[in-house]
Amino acid sequence: MTSSHRTGGIAIMPSTYAACVVLLLALVSLSSAASPGFRTELTQKGLDYIRSVGLPILEQEIGQITIPDISGDTDDTSYSLSSIRVTSFNIPTSSVAIVPGTGVTVAGSGATMTLHGNWHYRMDWWPHVSDSGTCDVSISDVSMSFTLTVGADAKGHATISCDACSANIGHMGIDFHGGASFLYNLFSSEIAGSIKGSVAPQICSAGKSAINTQGNAALESLPIIVAIDDNTEIDYGLIAPPAYDNVNFLETVHKGEFYLTKQPTEAPYVPAALPAASQFDRMMYIWLTAYMADTAGYVYEQSGILHYTITPAMVPSSIPIKLNTESFKDIVPALYKAFPNMPINLAVNNTAPMTMNISETLITGLIPGTVQVLVQQPNGTEAEAFVLSALIHANATAWTHSNNSKVYVSAKAVYMFTELSLVSTNIGQFNVALLDVAVNALAGLGVIPFINSYTVPGIEIPIVDGVALVNPTLQLGQGYAVVATDFSYKPSYKFKN
């Protein structure tokens, strides 16, 4: 298996700036040579929304940077600026873009910043005149750019790094409060250069530290393994680094395979190639393939879940056919002759994994199995009367729904018909075609509702804490279903400053 089987939690960001970055990248959780079972595309519309949500977070983070004390000597005078803090920071213009072959670039321009600090000077010559006061620094036309790269580790977790950062300071003005007026001429240009040389690296340092350290810690906790029930889980681990081959979207490819929780084994299937993305009007597109459904069928067949028994008590009174030999007297006379007036249990066993075919207009399913007709004798024992091979054909519908802020894709099978053949008999040969009505009624009664009990609850789409999908719609294609959706984001935790 590509990824580890650990049940992860939803990422909680320990840093405000990292929250913006992780939201951008972990929404998809994440060109590839491997065909995925699960794929996402985060479009430019989605990136722009994330930028708008993340901008105040970025402003807040940079507004908390620490400027080191500045000291120097000029014209026989020693000076220092200390306790320099940011009092405001604003980015009026920002952008986010995918750079093919590189990554994601987040940029801001025309930013303004104000600083407040303390100043002190001392003449080097006797009588060593000195003075102190405060100053306010106004900075304008600040620009910055971060280049982010997302990768994948050996376990299928997304990784993130800020590979490049640049920050430039445009114009600067300083107002000294207190002290002699000659300070303006003596120190302004000297101090301005020192402040510019200190602020720009601090902007880059704050962003890179949040991304590389705290961002990766948060991404590590994103759930790549999602439990379906007590026995089954889905592996959403990345199978390749996200791709930046298209300026219209950021693409991630995931394993998208069902496994038994306690005994995970690879399904004997290979995902089919998906078509290239061609829609970009929604914020995100989430692709679920027939491969996912096939691996689900394989897992449930391996687990033995689809081996169960239909008893007479399970047949509603509205069904004219009852599970006793009397009801089959005219259909299979030999059964009634061998076991008159005795109840019947039907042991249903699947003999191969369920399979699904998805087309542009329809989802169809095949459920292969056997039906063992067991007569309940007066002494409490069971006698096998005959065994049928049954291939159940069903159509299905699929939809999305939400429950407790989580989003699911569900399916519901509608029974069509069953192909029957006789495997073995202990009552002699008979015409299997006469059993069609009875078996079809019982298959619709027992098998399909049982299958739906697993498919209707749906499979969870992993999303970041605080993200809600908005107006998702489900579209079918050849071999896949795709969820087209917008999203909103409201942090469900307090940022740590």
Tokens 């001392």 locate to 122
- The verdict on whether omega for the bond into residue 127 sits within 30 degrees of 0, i.e. cis, is yes
Give the residue with greater pLDDT, 3 vs 87: 87
> Quick check: 43 pLDDT over 50?
yes
Q: What is the rounded CA–CA span in Å between residue 285 and residue 485?
A: 6
Closest CA to 27 of 467, 495, 472, 486: 467
User: Where in the chain do CATH 3.15.10.10 domains reside?
Assistant: 54-222
> CA gyration radius for the chain?
34
Band of pLDDT at residue 21, cut at 50, 70 and 90: very low
> Quick check: 210 pLDDT over 80?
no
Using the CB atoms, write b or e for 479-495: b if 16+ within 10 Å.
Answer: bbbbbbbbbebebeeee
Tens digit of each residue's pLDDT (9 = 90 or more) over 217-232: 666 667 789 998 888 9
CATH C-level class of 54-222: alpha beta
- Residue 62's contacts (CB-CB under 8 Å, 6 or more residues apart) are 17, 86, 89, 203, 206, 207
User: Where in the chain do CATH 3.15.20.10 domains reside?
Assistant: 225-483
% the chain with pLDDT above 90: 40
Pairing of strands 249-254, 38-43: antiparallel
Structural contact between residues 246 and 98, judged by C-beta atoms closer than 8 angstroms: yes
Band of pLDDT at residue 186, cut at 50, 70 and 90: low
Using the CB atoms, write b or e for 391-422: b if 16+ within 10 Å.
Answer: ebebebebebeeeeebbebbbbbebeebebee
Instruction: Locate the DSSP E strands across 185-337.
Output: 225-227, 232-235, 249-254, 257-260, 284-289, 308-310
Q: What is the rounded CA–CA span in Å between residue 234 and residue 484?
A: 21
Tens digit of each residue's pLDDT (9 = 90 or more) over 270-325: 999 999 888 899 999 999 999 999 999 999 888 888 788 888 988 877 777 889 99
pLDDT of 27: 45
Instruction: Locate the DSSP E strands across 56-193.
Output: 66-67, 70-74, 77-90, 93-99, 103-123, 130-152, 158-168, 171-177
pLDDT of 142: 94
- In a 3-state reduction of DSSP, which class is residue 292? helix
Structural contact between residues 152 and 168, judged by C-beta atoms closer than 8 angstroms: no
> Quick check: 22 pLDDT over 60?
no
Instruction: Locate the DSSP E strands across 153-190.
Output: 158-168, 171-177
CATH C-level class of 225-483: alpha beta
> Quick check: 493 pLDDT over 60?
no
- In a 3-state reduction of DSSP, which class is residue 89? strand
Give the residue with greater pLDDT, 387 vs 211: 387
> Quick check: 492 pLDDT over 80?
no
The DSSP letter of residue 426 is S
> Quick check: 15 pLDDT over 50?
no
Tens digit of each residue's pLDDT (9 = 90 or more) over 61-100: 888 888 899 888 877 778 888 999 999 999 999 999 988 8
- Residue 398's contacts (CB-CB under 8 Å, 6 or more residues apart) are 363, 409, 410, 411, 412, 474, 476, 481
pLDDT of 2: 39
